[in-house]
Amino acid sequence: MKNKSNLKYCSVCGREKEKKHLDNIPVDLYIECECEQKIREENEKKLQIQAESYYFNSRATDSHIMFKERNAFFNNMIMDESNEKVVNLSKFIAEMLINNTETESDKNGMVLFGNTGSGKTYISSAIINEYNKNAPINEGLLNIIKKNIANGVTPTDIPIKSKCKIIKERDLIKFSDIYNYKTDSSPVDEYVKADKLLIIDDVGTFYGDKNKASSTLFYVIDYRYSQKLPMIITTNLNKEELSTYLSDRSFDRLSACCWFMALKSEKSRRK
């Protein structure tokens, strides 16, 4: 079929387009052919998916979610008696964050106990992933991303942030040593003051100064408790061991604002 580039003809099938005349416009308009419309809609759909994927990954990066946990979602999990209560509570917390609602009690977070490989990090990461995927987005930024992708330009320097953060206990304690006196801030503030959720992963695995660990954790826990900001603690310790590891004040605050849950499975619950 002869390729006709004139606006009068469809660029796909070559048929002449239907012409439409408007009195207030001095030129005739040609109505988009069905096959051109189909291709345009397919391209727009692909562009939307690419832009939303970029948006999600940017939020995940800002949350400090590890790459291997970015596919952690509740629909990827195998639920059984060992994790059903934990997964259901995690779903509830995610919905609370997404919908910006509060609980009827003072509790809004979780302390998650379990052995290595039981799925603590995977399940807690899923809460952040669900938030990052489903929380309202900035349509203006999304349109900029779509425009860049359509023009073959990799989007950069677009300020996409997440209100949820995750950090290993050892990194939290390490960051507490860094303080910028010019800006009156520390890298730890990004985590401590996360607007929606803070997850402190692997509490109890720090092998340095225990007093330093205890004081750092108290600062973080006390701040989020006093501001009624949700937090999740994951640990290989049991409840009694965690109570000994933390200061009494930290443990009392966690008891007041968090549900204590245990994973009994020996394997990470992933499909």
Closest to 106 measured CA to CA, from 239, 217, 259, 237? 259
Q: Which residues pair with 198 in a beta bridge?
A: 165, 231
Strands (E), the chain: 19-20, 29-30, 109-113, 164-168, 197-203, 231-235, 258-262
State residue 180 phi and psi, 5-degree precision.
-100, 105
Task: End-to-end CA distance of the chain: give it in Å, rounded.
Answer: 49
- Coil, helix or strand at residue 51: helix
Contact residues for 159 (Cβ-Cβ < 8 A; gap 6+): 141
pLDDT on residue 114: 93
Packing angle between helix 34-63 and helix 139-150, nearest 10 degrees? Answer: 120
Residue range 221-233: mean pLDDT, rounded: 96
pLDDT at 180 over 70: no
DSSP per-residue string spanning 110-170:
EEEE--TTSSHHHHHHHHHHHHHHHS---HHHHHHHHHHHHTT----S-----SEEEEEHH
- Lowest mean pLDDT of 29-33, 100-104, 142-146, 235-239, name the range: 29-33
**Chain-wide mean pLDDT for the chain?**
86
pLDDT at 214 over 70: yes
pLDDT higher for 94 or 265?
94
Residues 230-265 have pLDDT tens digits of 999 999 999 999 999 999 999 999 999 999 999 976
pLDDT higher for 35 or 75?
75
Residues 33-51 have pLDDT tens digits of 767 677 778 888 999 999 9
pLDDT at 164 over 90: yes
DSSP 180: B
Would you say 94 and 72 are in contact if contact means Cβ atoms under 8 Å apart? no
State residue 246 phi and psi, 5-degree precision.
-85, 165
Would you say 55 and 160 are in contact if contact means Cβ atoms under 8 Å apart? yes
pLDDT on residue 75: 92
pTM, full prediction:
0.84
Burial pattern 81-97, b for ≥16 Cβ within 10 A else e, equals: ebbeebbebbbebbebb
